[in-house]
Amino acid sequence: MSAAPACSETDLEHEFDATIAREQRIEPRDWMPEGYRATLIRQIAQHAHSEIIGMQPEGNWLTRAPSLRRKAILMAKVQDEAGHGLYLYSAAETLGADRAELTRRLIAGTQKYSSIFNYPTLTYADVGVIGWLVDGAAICNQVPLCRSSFGPYARAMIRICKEESFHQRQGYELLMTMMRGTDEQRAMVQESVDRWWWPSLMMFGPPDADSPNTARSMAWRVKRNTNDELRQRFVDMTVPQAQALGVTLPDPDLAWNAEREAYDFGVPDWAEFGAVLKGNGPCNVERITNRRTAHEEGAWVREAAVAFAARERKEPTQ
């Protein structure tokens, strides 16, 4: 009996395209175009780095939480972000990426993380506003990714989104409590909203016309919506929440458009976004320095884990 003919690259590509068109998932052992693999590694690594670097702004307040209850809540949230980073690094590993190498690139500044985490947390109201706006934006962006075409990424997103929705609610609950408090607390919440609103809109990425990756990622169903679609969805979802809270969103152009059945809103400062991406945001240097220090100080843990695994396999350590 003669062996079955090997599949040609064209056949494999055809099968890959058909799987995507059928809304089925691409799994790690399936054939995939190198561009698809590279896009996913880029996006998932950037997402994982964001979760890990994203622990720093709120972690900054752990020792100064105003009560034991608030401290326990914040501690749990920051730990959740660490967990999200780990699921995502694992998803990247299924594509052949090396986790140590991804961390090396983050620390070397050759891989990005979300712009939002380069802004400082100046008051405790920022903990609430990050939960409300930053986790709110993250959910808006990530719920569609539960239908991303790459199986391990889509499945990681399901669990992450469940946890993020609690994060969003804890932020909103904290802000509701502050808004029921003193004039000083209300002013603190408003001042925080004023600082975080525009950077939260920038989280969705550049406008579609300036987004080099969107068209390809949409065709591959890695992304399910464009940056502008999701930004609009976030604004429409958030305006009524701001009204219920009693805060003003700092955008004079924000107005309901009855024809579009959506809110019109102003243009974010894209020059500021560009500067943050180039490493010139208010906290870029601090965030990466902290990450590098933590990595260096954790070297002994990694070495011990490797030695332990080797001993378990009954192999000599060196």
**Should residue 227 be labelled a site residue for ligand FAQ when binding is judged by CB under 6 A?**
yes
Least distance in angstroms from the C-beta of 259 to ligand FAQ: 27
Report the alpha-carbon distance of residue 205 to residue 218 in Å, rounded: 14
**Should residue 112 be labelled a site residue for ligand FAQ when binding is judged by CB under 6 A?**
yes
- Amino acid found at 252: P
3-state secondary structure of 67: coil
Of the candidates 142, 51, 50, 48, which has an alpha carbon nearest to the alpha carbon of residue 98?
A: 48
Contact pattern for ligand FAQ over residues 15 through 54, marking x by CB under 6 A: ---------------------------xx--xx--xx--x
146: tokens are 């539960």
Report the alpha-carbon distance of residue 190 to residue 207 in Å, rounded: 27
**Binding residue for ligand FAQ, selected from 40, 41, 130, 133, defined by CB under 6 A:** 130
The nearer residue to ligand FAQ, 164 or 186, going by C-beta atoms, is: 164
**Should residue 141 be labelled a site residue for ligand FAQ when binding is judged by CB under 6 A?**
yes
Cα dihedral 49, 55, 57, 62 in deg (nearest 10):
-170
Interface with ligand FAQ in residues 144-183 (CB under 6 A): none
Quickly tell me which residue has 């300036």 as its tokens: 210
Interface with ligand FAQ in residues 63-82 (CB under 6 A): 81
The nearer residue to ligand FAQ, 11 or 101, going by C-beta atoms, is: 101
Counting residues that bind ligand FAQ (by CB under 6 A) gives 29
Residue 182 has phi, psi (to 5 degrees) of -90, 170
The nearer residue to ligand FAQ, 194 or 228, going by C-beta atoms, is: 228
Using CB atoms within 10 A of its CB, is residue 274 exposed (0-12), middle (13-18) or buried (19+)?
A: middle
Site residues (CB under 6 A) for ligand FAQ?
42-43, 46-47, 50-51, 54, 81, 112, 114-115, 130, 134-135, 138, 141, 202-206, 211-214, 217, 223, 227, 277
